[in-house]
DNA sequence: CTGTTAGCGCGTTCAC
DNA sequence: GTGAACGCGCTAACAG
């Protein structure tokens, strides 16, 4: 069946366990003849070392925890792929934690930092509060945030304010003046990273710069999701003076907006322009104009930063590094100049 | 920094380590007064037990491995979500392995079964060959396949033949006679589960049943992906006698077909009908007629089956159970009767 | 009820 | 070069 131990191998090869351990770890000081003897013993017993025992002895686990909310979001999947790529390269195992409730969140932030269970932590889209952050850095477990902010913690993210600005500016340059913003809900009891809020301020900044008054009826919040966004857009389009352009906080939400536009018998771009955020894969198929952010790359960068931290003998107290990824507008076919007034 | 051990707690509380272990595991036989004493000691030392040491001692890891190819596919994500849901419920940790090359595949199938690293295995969309299967069942590590077949291994899947039949039959009932099939490549050096092939035979079955001759020029294979499918559909549409309907092996590929139809200046449904497979989320937004398969549910069922196996004291030799999930046609707006000949 | 001790499987000195 | 003994942190079985 299973589990031959190192001792069995030692006996079989007629050597001590120490020697077996040495060949296992490619220790130079072991005679070639005994090495081969041990190796054949290993092969014949079909032996494989126990990772767990190894971990206990070594004090490291060689696996890193990835915690993230909302599995479903395409943007998360892209990031995760990036993470997986580099973790696999460095032979780290990826343990995945999904967090969709406040309780699970608390539980995780309490248990993760302790324990020798993980060599490192990767946290996606979840901004720790000050307490949690303190505990994290205090625990000495290297951690990096991806798509989340916290001063004092290593992190890779984007300039959301600029993203909001870019999207809005594009619409303004096209000639739009009545521009709405469909946002995630800002005040979540569940602490996400307030990207929507920052994009909102970029939106207002662009508006102000162009001398366009901000209108609160053009600013709607709702839970993340196609359906919710569709409803918001419906409300917008039903306004006495509906917007001629809508900026959605994510591509997913932009899809909802697109549907609402169709539902109203209007045509996208011609009647109302739509711009999204993220540039997930479907955005291309939908020909959605959007703000591209490096999703896959964010995962790669975050994981690499973590690996680097891991090797660096954990010089705590070092100030946290921040990696900022570039943003750019991808112009496709859902934006156009506003229809000229009849 | 971290790691107070159980011994520290014992000393602090003035008890033996055994007692501490008992309160940790809620053993009934411990006086209330000492229990509280230990608990305060735990709190004051900010102690948390080492999962690894615990695992070594217990001989179980409380984590299960999920191996799957192609992170990116939306269908995989849905399944993974289902898996995660039940694993979390039962307090199992989810260790994720991505497999996109033959080497990684071999490496994994060699290393996974051994070791006390995992209590169980969940394998998605990857059909083990006979050797691998033998090693799996021989290892005694409970495993279940999701979206993959192998006699002798526990598995949850669908009736792909029937799926292919349903899709094709729908088209036939609509009046189509020239029906093409856009497929994944069947002979992959990389051993996936041959779902496309089975769907193909369902396709042929429906054709035969309706007395429609099979035409090899209507059957194209290509790698999974929007772009590849789009090219195949382009080729199909450029045929002297192009098909009036196209059945795609997945929704992702159906998206490519949709694009190709547009590219040719044709309109979907009116000029050419398209049906997909999977019913991923975007299918709804694209109004794609498709074969719905329970993606999320497949993850749930697979994980639950595994959990059940885990508790059942691993009665090996038991014959493998197979769970078959239902399929159904979801009719949306990409299919319609063929245009009547002018 | 509770303290003590023996493993769990492996890495690592430390002498030989 | 190589074997023996100890320790990693915890659970479980055995005495009290």
B140 touches chain A (CB under 8 A): yes
Q: How far apart are CA A306 and CA A312, in angstroms?
A: 10
Query: How many other CB atoms sit within 10 Å of the CB of residue B22?
Result: 18
Q: Which nucleotide is nearest to B54 (CA to C1')?
A: D10
Tokens of residue A204, six digits = 């207002």
Contact A114 B48 (CB under 8 A): yes
Dihedral sign computed on CA atoms, order B51, B56, B58, B59? positive
Two structure tokens written together for B185: 């490549």
φ and ψ at residue A35, rounded to 5 degrees: -55, -50
Per-residue pLDDT, B313: 57
The answer to whether B8 faces chain A, any CB pair under 8 Å, is no
B19 touches strand C (CB under 7 A): yes
Q: Say which of A74, A111, A139 has its CB closest to residue B1.
A: A139
Give the separation between CA B144 and CA B334, rounded to whole angstroms: 36
CATH 3.40.50.2300 residue ranges for chain B: 56-158+294-325, 160-293
| Nearest-neighbour CA in chain B from A98: distance (Å) | 7
**Contact map slice: B 108-127 vs A, CB within 8 A:** 111, 114-117
Distance of CA B129 to the CA centre of its chain: 18
CB atoms within 10 A of CB A270: 12
User: Beta strand A219-222 with A179-184: parallel, antiparallel or unpaired?
Assistant: parallel
**Contact between A104 and B88 using a beta-carbon 8 Å cutoff:** yes
- A41 CA to D10 C1' in angstroms comes to 31
The reply to whether B339 Cβ lies less than 7 angstroms from strand C is no
Backbone angles phi, psi at A120, to 5 degrees: -160, 165
**Using CB atoms within 10 A of its CB, is residue B167 exposed (0-12), middle (13-18) or buried (19+)?**
buried
Cβ atoms B267, B198 nearer than 8 A:
no
* Total beta-carbon pairs less than 8 A apart between chain A and chain B: 114
pLDDT band at A102 (very low <50, low <70, confident <90, very high): confident
- Homologous superfamily of B6-49: lambda repressor-like DNA-binding domains (1.10.260.40)
Whether B16 CB is under 7 Å from strand C: yes
Q: What is the mean pLDDT of residues A115-119?
A: 81
Distances in whole angstroms, Cα of residue B334 to Cα of each of A111, A275, A291, B135, B267: 49, 26, 30, 46, 9
- How many Å apart are CA A191 and CA A101, to the nearest integer? 10
Stated as kind and residue range, the H or E segment containing A35 is helix A32-45
Are residues A324 and A157 in contact, defined by beta-carbon separation less than 8 angstroms? yes
Q: What is the DSSP string of B34-98?
A: HHHHHHHHHHHHT----HHHHHHHHT---EEEEEES-TT-HHHHHHHHHHHHHHHHTT-EEEEEE
Phi, psi angles (nearest 5°) of residue B258:
-55, -45
Give the C-alpha separation, A243 to B223, whole Å: 43
The pLDDT > 90 percentage for chain A reads 76
> B234: helix, coil or strand?
helix
Measuring from the CA of residue A31 to each C1', which nucleotide is nearest?
A: D1
Q: Can you give the pTM of this predicted structure?
A: 0.91
CA distance A132 to B83: 28
Per-residue pLDDT of chain B (342 residues; tens, 9 = 90+): 557 899 999 999 999 999 999 999 999 989 999 999 999 999 999 899 999 999 999 988 889 999 998 777 889 999 999 999 999 999 999 999 999 888 888 888 888 876 678 999 999 999 999 988 988 888 888 999 999 999 999 999 999 999 999 999 999 999 999 999 999 998 776 777 789 999 999 999 999 999 999 999 999 999 999 999 999 999 999 999 999 999 999 999 999 999 999 999 999 999 999 999 999 988 998 899 999 999 999 999 999 999 999 887 555 556 789 999 999 999 999 999 999 754
Tokens of A238: 């039903």
Give the highest mean pLDDT range of A29-43, A92-106, A229-243: A229-243
Neighbouring CB atoms inside 10 A of A89's CB total 12
Whether the CB of A43 is below 8 Å from some CB of chain B: the reply is no
Instruction: Quick: pLDDT tens for A27-86.
Output: 988 999 999 999 999 999 989 999 999 999 998 888 999 999 877 788 999 999 999 999
CA of A29 to C1' of D4 (A): 18
Residue A56 (CA) to nucleotide D15 (C1'), in angstroms, measures 29
**How many Å apart are CA A148 and CA B150, to the nearest integer?**
43
Determine contact, residues A87/A142, Cβ cutoff 8 Å.
no
pLDDT, position A107: 85
> Is B103 at the interface with chain A, CB within 8 A?
no
Question: Which residues from A are below 8 Å from B97, CB to CB?
Answer: 93-94
Of A88, A258, A285, the CB nearest to B255: A285
Q: Which residues pair with B248 in a beta bridge?
A: B182
Return d(Cα A247, Cα A245) in angstroms, integer. 7
Taking phi over 0 as left and psi of -120 to 50 as alpha, with beta for the rest, A287 belongs to left
Q: Which CATH number fits domain A56-158+294-325: 3.90.1300.10, 3.40.50.2300, 3.40.50.300, 3.40.50.261?
A: 3.40.50.2300
CB atoms within 10 A of CB A326: 11
Nucleic acid strand C within 7 Å of A60 CB: no
- Shortest distance, CA A232 to any CA of chain B (angstroms): 17
Burial of A130 (0-12, 13-18, 19+ CB in 10 A): exposed
* Residue A310 to residue A60: CA distance in whole angstroms: 11
Cross-chain residue pair B84–A96, CB shorter than 8 Å = yes
| pLDDT tens column, B76-102 | 999 999 999 999 999 999 999 999 888
pLDDT value of position A342: 46
Average pLDDT value for residue range A157-186: 97
CA distance A34 to chain B (A): 25
Q: DSSP of A94-160, one letter per residue?
A: EEEEE--SHHHHHHHHHHSSSSSS-SEEEEESB---HHHHHHHHHHT--EEEES---TTSEEEEE-H
Residue B143 neighbours by CB distance under 10 Å: 27
Nearest to B231 by CA among B244, B248, B245, B213: B248
Say how far apart CA A130 and CA B201 lie, in whole Å.
59
* Strand ranges of the sheet holding B273-278, from the earlier edge strand across to the other edge: B219-222, B179-184, B245-248, B273-278, B289-292, B328-330
Write down the mean pLDDT value for chain A.
Answer: 92
Nucleotides on chain D that have an atom closer than 7 A to a protein CB are 1-5, 7-14
In A9-62, the DSSP E strands lie at: none
Distance between CA atoms of residues B186 and B176, nearest Å: 26
Closest CA relative to residue B294, chosen from B326, B261, B333, B250: B326
**Is A161:A323 a contact under the CB 8 Å cutoff?**
no
Which nt sits closest to A22, CA to C1'?
C11
pLDDT digits 0-9 by tens, A249-272: 999 999 999 999 999 999 999 999
Asked if A50 and B226 come within 8 Å (Cβ–Cβ), the reply is: no
The C-alpha of A120 sits at a distance from chain B's nearest C-alpha, in angstroms, of 14
Nearest residue: Cα versus C1' of C9:
A53
CA dist., res. B260 & res. B245, Å (int): 13
**Residues comprising chain A, all counted:** 342
Q: Are strands B245-248 and B273-278 parallel, antiparallel or unpaired?
A: parallel
Q: What is the pLDDT of residues A280-331, one digit of tens each?
A: 988 998 899 999 999 999 999 999 999 999 887 555 556 789 999 999 999 9
Closest CA to B302 of B109, B70, B71, B81: B81
- CA closest to C12 C1', residue: A18
Task: Measure the CA–CA gap between B93 and A238, rounded to whole angstroms.
Answer: 48
Do the beta carbons of residue B280 and residue B295 sit within 8 Å? yes
Quick one: B160-293 is in which CATH superfamily?
A: Response regulator (3.40.50.2300)
CA distance A65 to A76: 15
Verify if strand C has an atom below 7 Å from the CB of B56.
yes
Q: What is the pLDDT of residue A32?
A: 93
- Check whether residue A50 has its CB closer than 7 Å to nucleic acid strand C: yes
Give the CA A50 to C1' C16 distance in Å. 29
B48 CA vs C14 C1’ separation (Å):
33
C-alpha span between B43 and B48 (Å, rounded): 9
Query: Under an 8 A CB cutoff, do A93 and B95 touch?
Result: yes
- Residues B146/B128, Cβ–Cβ less than 8 Å: no
pLDDT score recorded for residue A267: 96
Q: Could you tell me which chain B residue has the CA closest to the CA of A89?
A: B104
Note whether A56 contacts B: Cβ–Cβ < 8 A. yes
Domain with CATH 1.10.260.40 in chain A: 6-49
| Chain C bases near protein CB atoms (7 A cut-off) | 1-5, 7-14
């Amino acid at each position: 069946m299973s589990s031959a131990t190192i001792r069995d191998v030692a006996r079989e090869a007629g050597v001590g366990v120490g020697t077996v351990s040495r060949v296992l770890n490619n220790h130079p000081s072991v005679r070639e003849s005994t090495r081969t003897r041990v190796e054949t013993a290993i092969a014949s017993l079909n032996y494989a070392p126990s990772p767990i025992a190894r971990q206990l002895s070594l004090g490291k686990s060689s696996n890193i925890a990835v915690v993230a909310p909302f599995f479903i979001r395409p943007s998360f999947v892209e990031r995760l792929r990036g993470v997986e790529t580099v973790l696999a390269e460095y032979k780290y195992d990826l343990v995945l934690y999904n967090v969709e409730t406040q309780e699970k969140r608390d539980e995780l932030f309490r248990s993760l930092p302790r324990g020798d269970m993980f060599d490192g932590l990767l946290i996606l889209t979840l901004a720790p509060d000050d307490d949690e952050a303190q505990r994290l850095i205090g625990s000495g477990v290297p951690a990096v945030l991806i798509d989340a902010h916290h001063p004092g913690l290593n992190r890779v993210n984007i300039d959301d304010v600029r993203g909001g600005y870019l999207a809005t500016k594009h619409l303004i340059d096209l000639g739009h003046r009545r521009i709405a913003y469909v946002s995630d809900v800002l005040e979540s009891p569940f602490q996400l990273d307030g990207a929507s809020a920052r994009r909102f301020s970029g939106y207002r900044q662009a508006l102000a710069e162009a001398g366009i008054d901000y209108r609160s009826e053009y600013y709607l919040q709702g839970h993340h999701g196609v359906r919710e966004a569709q409803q918001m857009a419906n409300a917008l389009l039903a306004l006495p003076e509906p917007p001629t352009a809508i900026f959605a906080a994510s591509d997913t939400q932009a899809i909802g907006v697109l549907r609402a536009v169709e539902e109203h018998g209007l045509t996208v771009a011609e009647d109302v322009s739509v711009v999204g955020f993220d540039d997930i894969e479907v955005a291309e198929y939908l020909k959605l104009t959007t703000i591209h952010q490096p999703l896959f790359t964010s995962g790669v960068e975050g994981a690499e930063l973590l690996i680097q931290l891991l090797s660096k003998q954990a010089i705590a107290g070092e100030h946290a590094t921040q990696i900022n990824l570039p943003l750019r507008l991808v112009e496709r076919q859902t934006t156009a100049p506003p229809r000229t007034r009849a």
